[in-house]
Structure 1
Amino acid sequence: MSSPISAVSQMLQRNQAFFVGKRLLICGALEDDYPHQLGTLTSALTVFTTDYCYYRRQQRALGAAVVFDHQLAGSPRFDALLLLMPKAKAEAQYLLAMMAPLLEPSAELFLAGENRGGINGADKLLALYGDKSIKRDSARRCSLYHSILSKPVAPFVLDEWLRQYECHAGNTSLTVLALPGVFSAEELDDGSKMLLDNLPPMAGELLDFGCGAGVIGSVLAKRNPDLAVTMVDINALALESSRRTLAINGLTATVRASDIYSDLSQPFDHIVSNPPFHAGLNTFYAATETFLCQAPAFLRAQGRLTIVANGFLRYQPLLENHFKQTEIVSSDAKFKVYLSRL
């Protein structure tokens, strides 16, 4: 049974005549099964996603038509693009720049999203690619913009989208490289800094869950040369950022996509995380709660879980239900660092 479609997709259903017979490329903030429905109307469909959770959910229905990566490569072959507006404007700019070289001249460009999610800036995003954009629909607090690709498109160069900054965590300095929209893309956040300030020397194997730009795992790999680090995230842009951060600092670690523990099998001596609690425009806790509840199964005897979280999040009772010992090792007005032992 297909899942209910989002408000954005309900609006798109009213306008799906635009996509009939098109060689359509869809990407962005994908949330539901509607791209599969559109596939029955198009002559060819590719769904590109940077979200590993979405990729895993859609593989059975879409097969090779769904692609998970940080970049979609290939020769021009699409005559229509539908971008579901991501939360970060910078990510939308990145996706448009990456996909535009794959479009045929005069391809149709569609941007759709919730009004509270920045879609009202679509005309400015599209102005780089077409002379005029039109708001085709506005319904259920969502909007659909339409333009025609009429301006020259520059080749996409990934390195031009990497932001670089120097990170200092205690006595450890790190060069960070990050793609748009990735956590810790601009600077070391206060929560991760507090976490790193409260981690002792480590040995064995460590999992950095929700690695973002790779700051936590890279700092710990640099501090502990004998530590075997694995970094996981669901965001392909984060995974590529982590690879770049490791490489520029001369560090090595395993970097892979994983939907919580979906692609992990071995146990670890340490799990460390500044776990996410946002999904798109909404606050979302389920993935982090699953991560915490299942952590004991991925820790060796005497294993330790250390996380930092906003103080208002009620993670302590959850941790106490699944670990023999949990303590707050550091806190301030905003964050708490929890250490849990088996």
Structure 2
Amino acid sequence: MSVTNNVYSNPSQLLQRNEALFEGKNILVAGNIDDNYPLHLQSLANSSTFCFSDYRYFSALNDRLSESTRLFTDNYQGTEDKNKKFNLLLIFVPKAKQEVQYLLANLTPHLEQGAAIILVGEKKVGIKSAGSLLKPYANNVNIIDSARHCSLLYCELAQQVAPFKQSDWVKNYTVTVNDTALQICSLPGVFSHGELDKGTELLLQNLPKNLKGKVLDFGCGAGVIGCYIKSCFPDSEIDMVDINAYALASAKLTLTKNKLNANVFASNVFSNIEKVYNTLISNPPFHSGKKTNYVAAETFINQSPSHLTKQGTLLIVANKFLRYEPLLTTAYSSLNTHQQNNKFKLLMCINK
């Protein structure tokens, strides 16, 4: 992932053809921001506020968006001046339909009546059908441009919108593994939203019996793994990290719901981590949007030995088709396929 050059994503290239829309506007921007086009957007607008949900892009652009308000947030609260409203909302459409609905509900209360609402995204994330999501807010929705397998949808806010309550969007469900039950809280866009992932289930069913000390749950999602470990091994010290703002908020809600304590914070792999752990544990992410992206998992594996104690354990679960074994055998002298089924494998390494 790089945001150091001006190679824009396809949606941003479509926006370049329509930059007159942003000139002189007070803009609010959110969604799947995945390049450095915000740096150009801030030069077009009268004022700009960027709501990042991906910590990688927030941390890469935060210092450079000096003329803008920039936030890493799961729930935009508005400006200090509650009477100040935006006259343009731009959403880079993420892959989860519910996340688009969530963003519209969260952000439209901060728009003035008649404000422009623009959705931009690729066909493969469903931009063509996203127009239906705008119907509660507008009388007419138009596709005003299409190129590079992307479309730009435009409408104007014509309806009164209700105040946003995040609690209305939390999906609560129960996970039971080995007779331990947890209440999970999940916001839209979070991995395995509303259900227990089968790979995670295999991992939890086969945790080491002597798990103790400092534990890192990498790519924590809604907090299933970290909360289960804390519940089963109450003396363990758990850190839970993710790059996704909705995941981190969900993990905190899950901890609260189950009356458990852990440290939850954003980190781009080990970027904000200085500790050394007894156990590193993960169902590592391998998707970025609709794309298969192994960078985070590869970085995690390659850098993991320096964050493990001697005789510390790395435990990851993965789809069988993912070839992590060559990376693991390079980083560790011992690799054990701890458990597997027809779809997933549980890989364990000891830091000698």
TM range (shorter): over 0.9
Letter in 1 for 2:90: L
1:42 to 45, 56, 62: 45
1:183 to 168, 191, 197: 191
1:71 to 51, 68, 75: 75
Q: Which residue of 2 aligns with 1:266?
A: 275
2: distance between equivalents of 1:7 and 1:205? 42
Q: Which residue of 1 aligns with 2:348?
A: 339
1:3 to 3, 6, 19: 6
Deviation (angstroms), 1:33: 1.1
2:139 to 131, 141, 144: 131
**TM-score of the superposed pair, with normalisation by structure 1:** 0.98
Task: Please give the per-residue CA displacement for 1:227-283, whole angstroms capped at 9, x wherever unaligned.
Answer: 110000000100010000000101000000000001110100001100000001100
Q: Which residue of 1 aligns with 2:94?
A: 86
Deviation (angstroms), 1:123: 1.4
Q: Which residue of 2 aligns with 1:96?
A: 104
Maintained 8 Å contact 2:6/2:37: no
> Unpaired segments of 5 or more residues in structure 2?
none
Maintained 8 Å contact 1:24/1:80: yes
1: distance between equivalents of 2:101 and 2:291? 21
1:297 equivalent in alignment to 2:306: yes
Letter in 2 for 1:110: I
Deviation (angstroms), 1:208: 0.2
1:13 equivalent in alignment to 2:33: no
1:120 to 123, 128, 131: 128
2:44 match: secondary structure = coil
Task: Please give the per-residue CA displacement for 1:58-91, whole angstroms capped at 9, x wherever unaligned.
Answer: 1121145221011111234211000010010001
Q: Which residue of 2 aligns with 1:317?
A: 326
2: distance between equivalents of 1:3 and 1:292? 30
2: distance between equivalents of 1:6 and 1:228? 40
2:336 to 312, 327, 336: 327
Letter in 1 for 2:126: G
Deviation (angstroms), 1:286: 1.1
1:164 equivalent in alignment to 2:168: no
2: distance between equivalents of 1:77 and 1:268? 46
1:60 match: secondary structure = coil
Task: Please give the per-residue CA displacement for 1:185-228, whole angstroms capped at 9, x wherever unaligned.
Answer: 21111000000111023110100000000000000000001011
Maintained 8 Å contact 1:25/1:46: yes
2:299 match: secondary structure = helix
**TM-score of the superposed pair, with normalisation by structure 2:** 0.96
1: distance between equivalents of 2:193 and 2:153? 28
Which deviates further from its counterpart, 33-42 or 251-260? 33-42
1:51 to 54, 66, 85: 54
1:325 match: secondary structure = coil
1:293 match: secondary structure = helix
Deviation (angstroms), 1:122: 2.0
2:248 match: secondary structure = helix
Maintained 8 Å contact 1:85/1:111: yes
Stretches of 4+ moved more than 4 A in 1?
none
Deviation (angstroms), 1:2: 2.4
Letter in 2 for 1:13: Q
**Root-mean-square deviation over aligned CA pairs:** 1.0
Q: Which residue of 2 aligns with 1:215?
A: 224
> Unpaired segments of 5 or more residues in structure 1?
none
2: distance between equivalents of 1:184 and 1:204? 28
Deviation (angstroms), 1:170: 1.4
Letter in 1 for 2:64: A
